[in-house]
Every structure is written in structure tokens, then in C-alpha cells.
Amino acid sequence: MSGETRTQRSAPSTSAGGNVMGSLVNGVLLYLLNGRPGWERISFLTPDTAQVIGIVNATLVVSLVAGILYAVVRSRGLQAIGGVVTSAVGLAASIKVLRVFPFDFTGYAFDWALVTRVVLIVSIVGCAIGIIAGLAMFGRAASANTLRRA
């Protein structure tokens, strides 16, 4: 070993530009689902989509706001809490969409219903893992701040 000390970065590893770009994508999706043409124009969505559009919108808004906050405030603690919140809202949305399943893929030769259900289940598992990881990350960030102050 050479006597060098390793310093831990205090800022999250994602770029501010990436966070802003993600927020822009979420904004565009919000507009497309709720403005013109709107979700009603998407051929495989059924009228039952009205039952889930609120929670889907909440997921997009929370992710949009989190991305902007991450770009402005470079903090591991904020990123951890934001990850928990976005994962929790995503979990709620995925569960609701899976329960309602507002899709009609009967006109397609491929079994898109099965693929969609698998993706939703993977999303549920991923969100649950994200919540646990975010809580652990927050614990580490809080612990590091406590140690720096001592």
C-alpha cells in the first residue's frame, strides 16, 4: 500500500444531465397519457385504464420531481429517500395495474398478456428491492454524516 487514503465521494454517481433527461421523459409521458392523444388512443388499453391512470400519473410525477431534486441537490441521503419514495409509489402502481390489468392484446398473435404480467411481477419485485436498498443507503448516509460530525 502506498500511504494514499481513499476518500468516499459524497455525491451520487448519476449525472445531473441524466436526472434532468429522465425528468423530461417523464414529463413527455405525462403529456402523452393525459393530453393529446391521451391514453384512450392507445389501441391495447381498455376503459379500465381509468382505474389506474391516477397512480400511474403519481409514479411519473414523483419520478419527475425526484430527478429534478437529484440534479439540484447532490446528496446521497436525498437520493436514498427519493429512491424509497419512488419505489414505494412504483410498487403501488405495479400492484394496481396487475390487479386491474387494463390491457387487451386479443388482436395480437404473440402472447403480450403473459409478457406484460411477467414485466409487472418483475417490477413489483424490483420495487420491493429498491425500497430495501434505499433504506440501507439512507442508513449508510446518515451514519456517515453522524461519523463526520463526531
Retrieve residue 24's grid coordinates.
423530461
Average pLDDT value for the chain: 89
Mean pLDDT of 59-75: 95
Instruction: Flag whether pLDDT at 27 surpasses 80.
Output: yes
**Residue extents of the structural domains in the chain:** 16-149
Distance CA 143, CA 21 (A): 31
Distance CA 102, CA 48 (A): 5
- Condensed to tens digits (0 to 9), the pLDDT of residues 77-96 reads 999 999 999 999 999 999 99
Position 116 scores a pLDDT of 98
Mean pLDDT of 107-131: 97
Local confidence band at 66 (pLDDT 50, 70, 90 cut-offs): very high
Position 53 scores a pLDDT of 98
Position 3 scores a pLDDT of 52
Instruction: Flag whether pLDDT at 6 surpasses 60.
Output: no
Q: For residue 102, which of 40, 23, 26, 19 has the smallest C-alpha distance?
A: 40
